[in-house]
């Protein structure tokens, strides 16, 4: 890994550059696929599945027998692990339920806010070399708690037209019945427009590669909402001499193995720690089944020596990491000063993998610096806030003259008249 010692602030932008393709490079392809799916529906989905997934499908829908076979063949210990994770995720997200917010802003003026579930949501679950069945838990569980009426799932098939059994088991465990064999840009397009088979939704959730990320952003032009522009995974670890170098290296590699366009960074005030971590990364890398993928990500990654604590904090906030691990003596300084991160993992015994699977927090998080303005997925992501108000005659008499004055000042006479008529009747 590349070691950078005490870079000045002018270098930070270049050092922290993500290894991602630009939106402009992918958008023309995404637009072509969107146009095809909008015009041709299922036929376009099957054609693109043949091109990108190398399989010809007769039907896009996962059948009940396929689900039952997956349930029967999945390892019992893995089933129990998934159930444990589901319980913890439910606990954390159910705790996010809020009561109605109600206040009398003035005598006779009653205002309140209530949450309503988004009626139709679509979940995108990557397949490919790493079928992310854990993401189903992260999305379907809060969707259920929120009370979404329709939840559909799109995921790419393998070369035999099958879906990984863990994906089907987890979907079944979460009560999902509408599962479709479609991935990539075409899956996002299908949920955007609807086809003969795949229903149109109001909001799309789920991670993916750069192509899926661009497709989700394109979907917003057609009236859909998305969870966030989440792209390739990333991790920043802050470690001093109190950290365990082997643990740090394992955390860096856990994100590097996601994909060749992932990025991992270590920031440390200790040159000795940086050297130990570098050695550990090289040693642990040799034993990884996904070594080739991790090596490519490591090539885009950096070990940064910064001896000043405030500079380290400023650099972290400028980067806005998706995942942020803190293994330092002075935890409070960094926790209190942190402004931008998707999810934070504190101490030597809190690996990022815990949040990916079973601690209970959500692993669908903003990447590519979007942690500066986006939250990770939470219960509120599946809800809308609706405001209500009810005003008595006495209440309108209290605030009516102010409304009239403000409406007149803005030149909106009809607004003023709507109050004037009522005030005359009240008097």
Per residue in 68-80, pLDDT (tens digit) is 999 999 999 999 9
Rounded-to-integer distance, Cα 205 and Cα 382, Å: 9
- Give the side-chain half-sphere CA count within 13 A for 214: 21
Q: What is the CA radius of gyration of the chain?
A: 25
d(CA 266, CA 243): 12
Confidence of residue 313 (pLDDT cuts 50, 70, 90): very high
What would the pLDDT profile of 352-377 be if each residue is shown by its tens digit? 999 999 999 999 999 999 999 999 99
pLDDT at 310: 97
Q: What is the pLDDT of residue 129?
A: 67
Q: What is the pLDDT of residue 293?
A: 93
Supply the pLDDT for residue 102: 98
The rounded mean pLDDT for the chain is 96
Query: What local confidence, expressed as pLDDT, does residue 80 receive?
Result: 98
What is the Cα–Cα distance from 190 to 182, expressed in whole angstroms? 9
Among 280, 323, 352, 363, the one annotated catalytic: 323
Look at 61-65, 178-182, 258-262, 271-275 and tell me which has the smallest mean pLDDT.
258-262
Least reliable range by pLDDT among 8-22, 109-123, 134-148:
8-22
More confident site: 400 or 1: 400
* Among 355, 34, 424, 73, residue whose Cα is nearest residue 222: 34
Are 290 and 254 spatial neighbours (Cβ–Cβ below 8 Å)?
A: no
The question of whether 323 is a catalytic residue gets the answer yes
In this predicted structure, what is the pLDDT of residue 92?
A: 98
Percent of the chain surpassing pLDDT 70: 99
Annotated binding site: 124, 186, 209, 233, 255, 258, 323, 356, 410, 415
CA distance 306 to 142: 39
Q: Work out the average pLDDT over 23-36.
A: 93
Helices (H), 229-381: 245-256, 271-285, 291-299, 309-319, 331-337, 352-357
Residue range 260-292, pLDDT digits in tens = 889 999 999 999 999 999 999 999 999 999 999
Q: Which residue ranges form the domains of the chain, and what is each CATH number?
A: 2-19+232-360 (3.40.50.1980), 23-99+117-227 (3.40.50.1980), 392-426 (no CATH)
Q: Is 114 a catalytic residue?
A: no
Model confidence at 91, pLDDT cuts 50, 70, 90, reads very high
Average pLDDT over residues 213-225: 96
Stated pTM of the model: 0.94
Q: Could you give the CA distance from residue 153 to residue 190 in angstroms, rounded to a whole number?
A: 11
* 139, pLDDT greater than 70: yes
Question: 10 Å Cβ neighbour count for 2?
Answer: 12
DSSP state of 61: B
Distance CA(278)–CA(348), nearest Å, equals 18
Structural contact between residues 166 and 135, judged by C-beta atoms closer than 8 angstroms: no
Owner of token pair 């927090």: 361
Report DSSP state, residue 241. Answer: T
Confidence of residue 208 (pLDDT cuts 50, 70, 90): confident
Query: Looking at residue 250, what is its pLDDT?
Result: 98
**Averaged pLDDT, 33-48:** 98
On the question of pLDDT at 210 being above 90, the answer is no
Catalytic residue among 234, 257, 280, 322: 322
Query: What confidence score (pLDDT) does residue 314 get?
Result: 98
- For 116-125, write each residue's pLDDT tens digit: 999 999 999 9
């Amino acid at each position: 890994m590349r070691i950078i010692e005490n870079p000045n602030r002018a270098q930070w932008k270049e050092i922290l550059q993500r290894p991602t393709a630009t939106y402009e490079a992918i958008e023309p392809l995404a637009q072509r696929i969107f146009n095809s799916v909008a015009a041709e529906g299922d036929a376009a989905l099957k054609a693109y599945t043949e091109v990108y997934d190398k399989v010809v499908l007769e039907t896009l829908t996962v059948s009940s027998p396929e689900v039952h076979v997956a349930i029967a063949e999945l390892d019992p210990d893995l089933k129990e692990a998934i159930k444990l994770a589901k319980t913890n995720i439910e606990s954390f997200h159910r705790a996010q339920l809020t009561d109605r917010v109600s206040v009398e802003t003035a005598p006779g003026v009653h205002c309140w806010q209530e949450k309503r579930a988004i009626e139709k949501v679509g979940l995108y679950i990557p397949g490919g070399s790493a079928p992310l069945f854990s993401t189903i838990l992260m999305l379907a569980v809060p969707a259920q708690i929120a009370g979404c009426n329709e939840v559909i799932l799109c995921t790419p098939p393998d070369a035999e037209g099958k879906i990984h059994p863990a994906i089907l088991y987890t979907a079944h465990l979460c009560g999902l019945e509408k599962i479709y064999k479609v991935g990539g840009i075409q899956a996002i397009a299908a949920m955007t427009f609807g086809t003969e088979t795949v229903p149109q939704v109001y909001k799309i959730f789920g991670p993916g590669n750069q192509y899926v990320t661009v497709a989700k952003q394109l979907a917003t032009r057609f009236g859909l909402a998305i969870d966030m522009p989440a792209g390739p995974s990333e991790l920043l670890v802050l470690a001093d001499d109190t950290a365990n170098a082997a643990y740090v290296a394992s955390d860096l590699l856990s994100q590097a193995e996601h994909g060749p366009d992932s990025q991992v960074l270590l920031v440390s005030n200790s040159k000795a720690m940086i050297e130990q971590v570098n050695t550990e990364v090289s040693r642990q890398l040799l034993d990884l089944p996904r070594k080739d993928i991790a090596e490519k990500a490591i090539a885009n990654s950096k070990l940064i020596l910064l001896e000043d604590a405030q500079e380290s904090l400023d650099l972290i906030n400028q980067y806005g990491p998706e995942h942020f691990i803190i293994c330092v003596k002075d935890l409070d300084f960094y926790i209190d000063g942190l402004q931008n991160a998707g999810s934070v993992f504190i101490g030597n015994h809190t690996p990022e993998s815990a949040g990916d699977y079973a601690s209970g927090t959500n692993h669908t998080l903003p990447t590519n610096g979007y942690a500066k303005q986006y939250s990770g997925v939470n219960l509120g992501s599946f809800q809308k806030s609706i405001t209500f108000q009810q005003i008595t005659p006495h209440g309108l008499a209290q605030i009516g003259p102010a409304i009239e004055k403000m409406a007149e000042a803005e030149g909106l006479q009809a607004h003023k008249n709507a109050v004037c008529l009522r005030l005359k009747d009240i008097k």
